Amino acid sequence: MSVATVGGPQVDSTTSPSEARPLDPESREWLRSLRSDGREHDEAVERLHSLLLRAARYECARRRPSLPHLRGNDLDDIANQAADDALVLILGKLDTFRGASRFTTWAYKFALLEAGVKARRRAWQGREIPLADDAWGAFADPGPSAHDSATTGELLRAIRTAVETELTDHQREVFVALALQEVPIDVLAERRSTTRGALYKTLHDARRRLRAALADHDLGAIS
Amino acid sequence: MNDRDMLARMLGPDGPEVTCEECFERLDEYVDAELVGRDPEGAVPGMAAHLAGCPACREEHESLRELVSDEPS
């Protein structure tokens, strides 16, 4: 079957998350215990929460350098909130687990997502999104190495022109924030009351327009 | 960041890629395929291109792969 893609042609895929697969014994046991009643269920939920908290703390530890103003307790609060939110999500989605991976791998991704989004947003709390006019300054001097520098400089000028002439206002704003200013996509999504997926679709469409506008340039090295 | 990385960040991957939603939906399958030595791109076509173009999804992929690979088997 085919899966949805951003923009361009669809991608052929021979498997789908909707196709049930035989579960490995450990995953089967997780599902059985989480669907049970009473004490067994409560103990399974507690074990799952511990697993999610480990994942969330792992993610917060990875992000510690981007959060220098936070104390250890603050990071642990983010990890605990992420584990709690992931647990609720997972318990509501148990029936969607089809065994395409181990259950624990499937569960971890929810905790990592929750922790990552919370940490990115905390890192940008109180910060303004930089203005578009400031964006190109960092690229004014692409570097001293002779030929590469000239080629890069030429490409950058062509990209800048294409950004100004080929993109819609919305595409330009999203492109500048995400691709030039490196604003985290979850932060921009929160500020714009939209979703990561919707913003990435806009970025993808903008990139396609830019690539089309640069058809006369050699983009082989960055394909 | 070198010039090539800088330009790649602006222009993104060239070719079909999955959406952010599809990426999250199948990230666990992709990572398990990587870690057991199956072809991850064969399991989820378009995933590698998306991970190249989307920093947030790429970070989640790196975290999940590292976390799972650190687990005692």
Per-residue pLDDT tens listing for chain A (223 residues): 344 455 443 343 434 444 567 899 999 999 999 999 999 999 999 999 999 999 999 999 999 888 888 877 889 999 999 999 999 999 999 999 999 999 999 999 999 999 999 999 999 998 888 766 666 766 655 555 555 666 778 888 899 999 999 999 999 999 999 999 999 999 999 999 999 999 999 999 999 999 999 987 766 656 5
Residues 6+ apart with CB under 8 A from A128: none
Query: How far apart, in whole angstroms, are the C-alpha atoms of residue A163 and residue A148?
Result: 22
pLDDT of the residue at B54: 97
* Residue A11 in domain: no
pLDDT of the residue at A223: 55
Residue of B6, B36, B69 to mutate, interface with A, max A Cβ within 10 Å = B6
Band (pLDDT 50/70/90 cuts) for residue B1 is low
Q: Which long-range contacts (CB under 8 A, 24 or more apart) does A23-26 make?
A: A23/A99, A23/A103, A24/A99, A24/A102, A26/A102, A26/A103, A26/A104
Give the residue on A whose Cα is nearest the Cα of B13: A223
Nearest to A189 by CA among B15, B57, B23: B57
Minimal Cβ distance to B18: which of A3, A9, A58:
A3
Query: How far apart, in whole angstroms, are the C-alpha atoms of residue B51 and residue B40?
Result: 12
CB pairs under 8 A between A and B: 142
Same domain, residue pair A70 and A164: no
Query: How far apart, in whole angstroms, are the C-alpha atoms of residue A185 and residue B55?
Result: 8
Q: Which residue shows structure tokens 């492109």?
A: A175
* Residue A5 in domain: no
pLDDT, tens digit, for every residue of B14-56? Answer: 889 999 999 999 999 999 999 999 999 999 999 999 999 999 9
Domain boundary among A123, A144, A178: A123
Give how far B62 is from chain A: nearest CA, Å. Answer: 10
Give the residue on A whose Cα is nearest the Cα of B29: A101
Structural domain boundaries enclosing A189: 132-222
Same domain, residue pair A113 and A153: no
Same domain, residue pair A112 and A146: no
State pTM to two decimals.
0.87
Residues 6+ apart with CB under 8 A from A134: A181
Residues of chain B with C-beta less than 8 angstroms from the C-beta of A185: 54-56
* Residue A8 in domain: no
A155 near B CB under 8 A: yes
Contact predicate A217/A150, CB 8 Å = no
Minimal Cβ distance to A108: which of B14, B26, B64:
B64
Q: What is the ipTM of this complex?
A: 0.93
pLDDT of the residue at A8: 45
Interchain pair B32, A101: CB under 8 A: yes
pLDDT of the residue at A131: 65
pLDDT of the residue at A69: 83
* Residue A1 in domain: no
